[in-house]
Structure 1
Amino acid sequence: MADKYRRILIKLSGEALMGKNKFGHDINIITQICEDIEAVHDLGYQICIVVGGGNICRGATSQSLGIERASGDYMGMLATVINAIALQSKLESLGVFTRVQSAISMTEIAESYIRRRAIRHMEKGRIVIFAAGVGSPFFTTDTAAALRAAETDCNAILKGTQVDGIYSADPKTDITAKKYANISYKDVIVNDLNVMDTAAITLARDHNIPILIFDIHKKGEILKVLNGTGTYSIVK
């Protein structure tokens, strides 16, 4: 086990959970992701997860439906709770103990977020799934990921995306897109690269937390990234 990444935060988008579907959940993709997380957990890594809700509801696009932005963001937060419960159910079916902690109080289905309790869960070998973003509108789940990573003393953020790293443009539509294997926090912000929002990058920079970007759909890639043998980009 790489000591420098003893405790990690895995950031999953809601879209990652729907596979090729246009909405909702793809059980095959969720199973693959959870099996990959289980493999890493079984090696002794302490793990927490922040999950988005874009496969169900995206707050940033709610205004096009006539919903005010703040209300749309709260709807998106509730979507992340649904996704967190889905991940919890699948992980526990694999024999991994988990806890869901929500930034919005809903005691019947999740613990309220308490920093020291989250750390203790990880120390006891439980995976903690953080839901409902930061609990306030106008903040993305990327910002929530950076904040929770800083609060719980994580050594790295692993962000699973649809591509295998950071590019100057979308490599699926632009064959001339340049890949960055290593890049600084400052250059990500200056070049306006679509990795995480500025608040998230700044938080990670201020707490010296590296961000590793990889393709979440490649089976076994989480462990390969941690071992330094996978295909990924790193912001540090």
Structure 2
Amino acid sequence: MGGAMLEGWLARGLDPAAVTILDPNASADLAARGLRVAPEAGDLTIAPPAILVLATKPQSLDAVAPGIASVAGPDTLVVSILAGKTMADLRRALPDARAIVRAMPNLPASIGRGATGAYANEATSERQRREADALLSANGMVEWVGSEDLIDAVTALSGSGPAYIFHLAEAMAEAGAAAGLEPALAARLARATVVGAAALLGESPLEPAQLRQNVTSQGGTTAAALDVLMAEDGLRPLMREAVAAAKRRAAELSG
């Protein structure tokens, strides 16, 4: 996810020389593109930055914290995209840090179409919040939530959401093949349908329900399919169960 965000920032004009990446597994081409890269903080002389973006796997926080704690100074704004890691977890890992923003972006951030939910602690100044908003907005829309516990719900909905859409495209392609289409053709049609419908949803002022109704003729083929998807045991309860499972897992990652 950190890589996706970085690609979005670079594509929108961020100076590579302004970025230092601390990653023992960083690809060699990053340095070739002008970014400063080091396996550990001690491998570069780094003053505490204005903004430190934490983009490790959540389970790796305790392992990497000793190497980056000195980089997170009292004037550094820490922006964490670690699913499940709470403000308390982050303060414990980075004891000198004060201003912290928990954010949950998603994969389309890499093309400037991301959706990010964010929460700032009380130590975050209005200026720092604006800086975080500008940073995150470069990758797409940003919504600020009023309490930290809502970040887990954001993670479950939009953070993990692109995978739900990709799986929908998979399922549609498989259904098309089962209906008799050649699999590659079914896959192309499913992909184009998802992409086109998403683009229409993004540009239309209408609510999703109204768009659905507009494309559904009474007694027609779409209505027949929706009778299945909108049944009592159809897509909605399944999606609620999926999002609830993702939210529970986000909470477990803080332990």
Normalising by structure 1, report the TM-score: 0.30
CA radius of gyration, larger in: 2
**Normalised by the size of structure 2, how large is the TM-score?**
0.28
Q: Structure with the greater relative contact order (CA < 8 A, sep ≥ 6): 1 or 2?
A: 1
Structure with greater helix percent: 2
